[in-house]
């Protein structure tokens, strides 16, 4: 099978013109087929503030009411996505920006209300990769915004890590997929205070131990759970790394 | 050749949830291959006002400075485009939202500054229809936002009528194209005060006469010039009509 690399980058990188330019250049140097998944939370929060709308977060996740859904649709699907697409085209990468509604490639359902009502947030239910696979094989590079749809006319806000994981699993039927989650550190750290203490290989066994020892905590836990899930579902390789290392293969490699 | 219909609708129709729903239903009933082109100027003006930015117009055209470019990228490429795509998917139409940057399907150049500096406005220079043709043949329905790019990393605001005309000409190599321009009247009127005075067939000869007699004036003139240009460049049929008539073939048919 041909190789495909899926890179997920957060808002911080893609929202600053200089770091975005560097990222797109590094991304373009990755060999083989490619997919880029982006966030944009900071821009959404900033836009909401400009419009006098308060961003509500619970457990680090955004509450997406009707007004906020319009904002994330504009910011993720329009501003951030299209600036990335135009930036990639400028360096010869044939990018195509997509939300889950486009080509109906990712369908979700509105998250049920439990103790928290997250609002218009989608849990992914179905990935239709057929046309996507065809486009990728033609050299097209999908740029995925963190938005899905319910196929009943509603767009839904969806975590970019989840989008990347679900796309990686679905594309593993046709490609040998490497999934790279980028964040602000060079990899998963053994010692939070030491940026150089990157764990080179993290097995599920080590992961469990580090979680019980509280070496790994907070938002890194769901990211790593997503990673093991992806490996279990056919993704060949998962790397947690910093955006400026994506063309170097450095970082923490996740292994079952 | 297979038949393809390109429908261009203005902002007024797509910005109201009720009229949008009706439009998408009518559009879905058009037989054969389809492309939808949309505006969104009213939403952009409203969003700019909410953000405290004044919309400047010269000769009925928007001056697109850097701040306004961000707004139209959000509103046209994100909010309006993705709501249409999600709405079409809900009724079984496999829509794909595109700006000119996506798939590099439409390249433009920033309009030269003459007596007026329109800012980040693009004049179309090149349409790359190969992948688009392939997607359409697979049943995909492109939904085109009024944005192009210069292939140097910049998105550019581009008139939706122009996008529709340029797409129609380029797709005429592979399809028998009907181009429908929708506006608020049932067709081109012989008497501005009488909504029923629709000219059924408008030839270039009649057009010239009506312009010199001032029967046709204002914004209708460039729309009709676009129409004749499209017919001259291989488009099979051009119709000027009202959005609620697109599945009926009523309106003013333009003939060379």
A99 touches chain B (CB under 8 A): yes
B154 neighbourhood in chain A, CB within 8 Å? 86
Query: Residue A154 is nearest to which of B86, B96, B154, comparing CB atoms?
Result: B86
Which residues face B6 on adjacent strands? B35, B179
Query: Residue A101 is nearest to which of B77, B86, B131, comparing CB atoms?
Result: B86
- Top residue of A92, A101, A139 to mutate, by most chain B CBs within 10 Å, is A101
Query: Residue A102 is nearest to which of B85, B90, B134, comparing CB atoms?
Result: B85
CATH number of B3-255: 3.40.1160.10
Question: Rounded CA gap, A95 and A223, in Å?
Answer: 26
Q: Which of B81, B64, B80, B25 is nearest to B246 (CA)?
A: B25
SS3 category, B32: coil
B50 touches chain A (CB under 8 A): yes
ipTM value for the complex: 0.96
B47 neighbourhood in chain A, CB within 8 Å? 74
Q: Do B83 and A155 touch (CB under 8 A)?
A: yes
**CA of B38 to nearest chain A CA: how many angstroms apart?**
15
Q: Tokens in use for A138?
A: 């033609």
B103 touches chain A (CB under 8 A): yes
Residue A58, pLDDT score: 87
Question: Rounded CA gap, B40 and B67, in Å?
Answer: 16
> What are A155-196's pLDDT values in tens digits?
999 999 999 999 999 999 999 999 999 988 999 999 989 999
Residue B233, pLDDT score: 97
B89 neighbourhood in chain A, CB within 8 Å? 101, 104, 149, 151, 153
Is a pLDDT exceeding 80 seen at residue B60?
no
Question: Rounded CA gap, A141 and A20, in Å?
Answer: 17
**CA of A181 to nearest chain B CA: how many angstroms apart?**
24
Task: For residue A97, give the chain B residue with the closest CA.
Answer: B102
B109-118 average pLDDT score: 94
Residue A207, pLDDT score: 96
Question: Rounded CA gap, B252 and B243, in Å?
Answer: 13
Residue reference for tokens 């210069």: B150
Q: Do A97 and B102 touch (CB under 8 A)?
A: yes
Residue A130, pLDDT score: 96
B148-173 average pLDDT score: 97
Is a pLDDT exceeding 90 seen at residue A16?
no
Residue B53, pLDDT score: 93
A128 touches chain B (CB under 8 A): no
Question: Rounded CA gap, B128 and A139, in Å?
Answer: 15
What's the pLDDT band for A59 if we cut at 50, 70, 90?
A: confident
B194-221 average pLDDT score: 94
Question: Which run of H or of E encompasses B36?
Answer: strand B33-38
A254 touches chain B (CB under 8 A): no
Is a pLDDT exceeding 80 seen at residue A60?
no
Task: For residue A130, give the chain B residue with the closest CA.
Answer: B138
Residue A10, pLDDT score: 85
Q: Tokens in use for B39?
A: 């505006």
Question: Rounded CA gap, A15 and B141, in Å?
Answer: 31
Contact A236, A175 (CB under 8 A): no
Tell me what the pLDDT averaged over chain B comes to: 95
Is a pLDDT exceeding 90 seen at residue B180?
yes
Altogether, the residues listed in chain A come to a count of 256
> What are B5-49's pLDDT values in tens digits?
999 998 788 888 999 999 999 999 999 999 999 999 999 999 999
H and E: helices and strands count for chain B: 9, 14
DSSP annotation of A119: B
Residue B10, pLDDT score: 85
The answer to which of A90-99, B57-66, B119-128, B221-230 has the lowest mean pLDDT is B57-66
Residue B59, pLDDT score: 77
- For the full predicted model, state whether its pTM sits above 0.90: yes
What's the pLDDT band for A245 if we cut at 50, 70, 90?
A: very high
Residue B235, pLDDT score: 98
A120 touches chain B (CB under 8 A): no
B169-187 average pLDDT score: 96
Give Cα separations from B67 to A22, A66, A83, B74, B167 (angstroms). 23, 24, 14, 11, 28
B75 neighbourhood in chain A, CB within 8 Å? 74, 78
Alpha helices (runs of H) in B107-240, residue ranges in sequence order: 130-137, 160-171, 204-212, 220-232
- Top residue of B82, B134, B137, B152 to mutate, by most chain A CBs within 10 Å, is B82
Residue A249, pLDDT score: 84
Q: Do B82 and A94 touch (CB under 8 A)?
A: no
**CA of A204 to nearest chain B CA: how many angstroms apart?**
39
> What are A61-117's pLDDT values in tens digits?
889 999 999 999 999 999 999 999 999 999 999 999 999 999 999 999 999 999 999
Tell me what the pLDDT averaged over chain A comes to: 95
B140 neighbourhood in chain A, CB within 8 Å? 103, 131
What's the pLDDT band for B192 if we cut at 50, 70, 90?
A: confident
What residue ranges do the domains of chain A occupy? 3-255
Question: Rounded CA gap, A145 and A35, in Å?
Answer: 11
Q: Tokens in use for A224?
A: 């790593």
Is a pLDDT exceeding 90 seen at residue B2?
yes
């Amino acid at each position: 099978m041909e190789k495909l690399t899926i890179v997920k980058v957060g808002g911080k990188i893609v929202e600053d013109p200089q770091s975005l330019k560097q990222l797109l250049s590094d991304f373009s140097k990755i060999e083989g087929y490619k997919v880029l998944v982006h966030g944009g939370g900071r821009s959404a929060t900033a836009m909401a503030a400009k419009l006098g709308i308060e961003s509500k977060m619970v457990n680090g996740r955004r509450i997406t009411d009707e007004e906020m859904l319009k904002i994330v649709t504009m910011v993720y699907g329009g501003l951030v996505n299209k600036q990335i697409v135009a930036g990639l085209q400028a360096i010869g990468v044939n990018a195509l920006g997509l939300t889950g509604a486009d080509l109906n490639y990712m369908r979700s359902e509105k998250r049920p209300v439990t103790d928290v009502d997250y609002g218009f947030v989608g849990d992914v239910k179905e990935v239709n990769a057929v046309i996507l696979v065809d486009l990728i094989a033609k050299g097209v590079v999908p740029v995925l915004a963190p938005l899905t749809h319910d196929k009943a006319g509603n767009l839904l806000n969806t975590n970019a890590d989840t989008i990347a994981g679900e796309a990686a699993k679905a594309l593993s039927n046709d490609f040998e997929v490497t999934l790279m989650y980028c964040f602000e550190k060079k990899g998963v750290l053994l010692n939070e205070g030491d940026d150089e203490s990157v764990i080179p290989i993290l097995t599920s066994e080590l992961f469990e131990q580090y979680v019980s020892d509280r070496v790994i905590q907070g938002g890194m836990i769901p990211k790593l759970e997503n990673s093991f899930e992806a490996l279990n579902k056919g993704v060949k390789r998962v790397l947690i790394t910093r955006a400026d290392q994506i063309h170097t293969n450095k970082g923490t490699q996740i292994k079952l």
